[in-house]
């Protein structure tokens, strides 16, 4: 097991954001966390990368307990993250941004630089442009490329599709697949459940700080509950038949989830539109 999150609780002041999340990531996998706004996806990633302290539970990486390790040391351990809202350095050029990605490493980075430019030819064209003046898609590419520069064992991606056009999302996801094929484990958080489930090997469905379900991604794609709640397809029929179906432990919740597709769609849309503005 490469990364293991065991019963993690996280609080923002008195408000519990994560109420006992358990997630496991095997080496070489692509795992995705899906769920609506406020489900705790971003908080989970921030807790793994060390930006949020956890109140209880444990995070194991390569068998080592890193729950109390400061964030900047986790990079050395092998955790790389492309933060939500991209979080690139706006005043630095593309090359300077990428060099910041290799900050924690020693030795020559030119080979990794070349590899990033090969994965993202677009970045190679804009080497000397300031990060802040690039388009949303280019910034996302830069954020992923920058995270790769630290040669992470596991790459954490927070909403890579946020605020991007469908064509671009497709392109980014193809690249994520390629990164994984080259040997990097990927944990990706997504609101765009359809695409994330097609990409990932396994998936966790998060809701209000708990893991609602975990299964191979292809199974979840066909799961009527998930379809109804997050994929927006065949809501009425699928929700009706699947409400009390196969998921024995969360039957009550399933009904609630299934009844919310219209609402979820309404809430999700505007958030995605304003997303590029929302960096924290």
Query: CB of residue 112 vs another protein: minimum separation in angstroms?
Result: 14
Least Cβ distance, residue 210 to another protein (angstroms):
25
Query: Where on the chain is the footprint of another protein (CB under 8 A)?
Result: 49-51, 70-73, 75-76, 80-81, 83, 87-93, 95-96, 100-101, 103-104, 128, 130, 132-133, 135-136, 139, 146-147, 150, 163, 165, 273-277, 279-280
The kind and range of the H/E element at 44 are helix 41-49
Minimum separation from the CB atom of position 263 to another protein (A): 23
Chain position carrying tokens 């995070």? 59
Looking at the Cβ atoms of 22 and 93, the one nearer to another protein is: 93
If the CB atoms of residues 139 and 247 are measured against another protein, the closer one turns out to be: 139
Of 57 and 71, CB closest to another protein:
71
Whose tokens are 């399933």? That residue is 254
Q: What is the closest distance, in whole angstroms, from the C-beta atom of residue 219 to another protein in the complex? A: 32
Q: Which residues, in sequence order, are CB contacts of 20 under 8 Å at separation 6+?
A: 7, 8, 9, 57, 209, 210
Q: Residues 2, 183: contact at Cβ < 8 Å? A: no
Query: CB of 50: closest distance to another protein in angstroms?
Result: 7
Q: Nearer to another protein by C-beta: 93 or 194? A: 93
Output 163 or 261, the one with its CB closest to another protein. 163
- Please state, in angstroms and rounded to a whole number, the distance separating the CA atoms of residues 238 and 224: 5
What is the distance between the alpha carbons of residues 192 and 75, in angstroms, rounded to a whole number? 27
Per-residue CA distances from 205 to 23, 34, 77, 179, 230 (Å): 10, 5, 27, 23, 10
């Amino acid at each position: 097991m490469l990364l293991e999150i065991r019963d993690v609780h996280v609080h923002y002041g008195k408000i519990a954001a994560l109420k006992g999340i358990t997630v496991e990531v095997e080496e070489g996998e692509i795992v995705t966390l899906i769920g609506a706004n406020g489900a705790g996806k971003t908080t989970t990633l921030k807790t793994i990368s060390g930006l949020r302290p956890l109140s209880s539970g444990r995070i194991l990486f390569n068998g080592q307990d890193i729950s109390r390790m400061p964030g900047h040391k986790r990079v050395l351990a092998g955790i790389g993250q492309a933060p939500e809202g991209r979080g690139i350095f706006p005043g630095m050029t593309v090359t300077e941004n990428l060099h910041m990605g290799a900050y924690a490493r020693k030795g020559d980075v030119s080979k990794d630089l070349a590899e990033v430019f090969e994965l993202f030819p677009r970045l190679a064209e804009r080497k000397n442009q300031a990060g802040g003046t690039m388009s949303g898609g280019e910034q996302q590419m830069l954020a992923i490329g920058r995270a790769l520069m630290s040669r992470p064992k596991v790459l954490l991606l927070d909403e890579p599709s946020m605020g991007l056009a469908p064509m671009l999302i497709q392109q980014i996801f193809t690249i994520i697949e390629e990164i994984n094929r080259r040997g990097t484990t990927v944990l990706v958080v997504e609101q765009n459940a359809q695409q994330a489930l097609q990409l990932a090997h396994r998936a966790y469905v998060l809701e209000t700080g708990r893991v609602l379900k975990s299964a191979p991604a292809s199974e979840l794609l066909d799961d009527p509950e998930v379809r109804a709640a997050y994929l927006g397809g065949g809501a009425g029929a699928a929700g009706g038949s699947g409400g009390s179906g196969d998921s024995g432990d969360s039957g009550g919740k399933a009904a609630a989830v299934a009844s919310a597709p219209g609402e979820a769609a309404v809430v999700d849309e505007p958030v995605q539109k304003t997303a590029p503005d929302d960096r924290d």
